[in-house]
């Protein structure tokens, strides 16, 4: 598909020394079936795909691993520490994920509250410091809080991932100002993670100038996940293109687009 963004001289997204083609990253959870997941990932154009670390089901191991359906040569597997509520647990999960042997990237999550799944930023910083020390490329899932984002960058994180809104909520980008501020102040890539509901949310998020966006439920829980994946791909490209193009200034009053002179008497 030809896209307008290709005519703009955009730089590729590089995180922790790896360059990625797509600014859209997608999750692999909650799909109605594996075939739909595979087709949705393909339609999204994403080359970074997140996975979770869980116990092998001793009775039905063959069916449950996501790697039976994804080719790690074609996509970049980004393991997460979803479900971890302490720094120690997140570190344990990250180490297990790295041992799978694909890469040393981790999407670090330390959750602080069950209802909102909002991050425990103290635990997050603690875990990030340990994992960076151990050579991990840490992509830290965090609040849209500038000071935490700065601390995560100082801790050596490869990317900072502020949320648009709570995980799985579909509420969209609740705080564009904060996300924009984080992007303006950080040097490492800023990838907005979680909360996007539909294509316009992805577009608005990318228009803030962030480097990328990661989503799962917005695609997996759509009525047609493959079609939504394509919509998200286009929205991400459109939002990026609009950001690079530079929007017109807002004004409080109208200004005619057609000449005011030359009107009939």
Partner 1 sequence: MDVVINGERKQIRGGTLLDVLSELELDPRAVVVEHNRKIVRRAGLGGVQINEGDALELVHFVGGG
The residues that are catalytic are 107
* 48 binding partner 1? (CB under 8 A): no
Among 5, 23, 24, 27, binds partner 1 (CB under 8 A): 27
Nearer to partner 1, 92 or 180 (CB): 92
The CA distance from 143 to 147, in Å, is 10
Which two tokens mark 33? 């079936």
DSSP calls for 113-144: -TTT--B-HHHHHHHHHHHHHTT-EEEEEE-S
Q: How far is the CB of 134 from partner 1 (least distance, A)?
A: 12
Of 246, 247, 240, 248, nearest in space to 5 by CA: 240
Give the up-direction half-sphere exposure of residue 187: CA atoms within 13 A in the CB hemisphere: 7
Q: Which stretch binds partner 1 (CB under 8 A): 51-59, 145-153, 175-183, 205-213?
A: 51-59
Among 4, 56, 147, 227, binds partner 1 (CB under 8 A): 56
Which two tokens mark 160? 């900072």
Among 36, 95, 118, 198, binds partner 1 (CB under 8 A): 95
Which two tokens mark 161? 């991932």
Binding mask 129-168 for partner 1 (x = CB under 8 A): --------------------------------------xx
Residues 58-87 that bind partner 1 (CB under 8 A): 58, 61, 64-67, 77, 79-80, 82
């Amino acid at each position: 598909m030809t896209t307008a963004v290709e005519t703009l001289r955009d730089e590729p997204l590089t995180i922790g020394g790896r360059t990625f083609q797509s600014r859209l990253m997608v999750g692999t959870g909650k799909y109605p079936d594996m075939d739909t997941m595979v087709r949705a990932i393909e339609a999204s154009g994403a080359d970074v795909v997140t996975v979770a670390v869980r116990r092998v089901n001793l009775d039905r191991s063959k069916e449950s691993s996501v790697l039976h359906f994804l080719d790690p040569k074609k996509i970049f597997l980004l393991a997460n520490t979803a479900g971890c509520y302490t720094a120690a647990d997140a570190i344990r999960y990250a180490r297990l994920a790295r041992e799978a042997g694909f890469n040393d990237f981790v999407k670090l999550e330390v959750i602080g509250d069950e209802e909102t799944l909002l991050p425990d930023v103290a635990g997050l910083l603690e875990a990030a410091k340990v994992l960076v020390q151990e050579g991990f490329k840490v992509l830290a899932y965090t609040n849209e809080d500038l000071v935490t984002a700065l601390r995560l960058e100082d801790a050596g994180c490869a990317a900072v991932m502020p949320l648009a809104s709570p995980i799985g909520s579909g509420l969209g980008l609740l705080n564009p100002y904060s996300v924009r501020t984080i992007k303006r102040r950080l040097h490492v890539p800023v990838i907005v993670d979680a909360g996007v509901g539909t294509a316009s949310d992805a577009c608005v998020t990318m228009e803030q100038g962030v480097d990328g966006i990661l989503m799962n439920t917005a695609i997996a829980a759509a009525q047609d996940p493959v079609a939504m994946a394509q919509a998200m791909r286009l929205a991400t490209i459109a939002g990026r293109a609009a950001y690079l193009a530079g929007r017109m200034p807002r004004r409080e009053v109208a200004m005619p687009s057609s000449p005011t002179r030359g009107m009939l008497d």
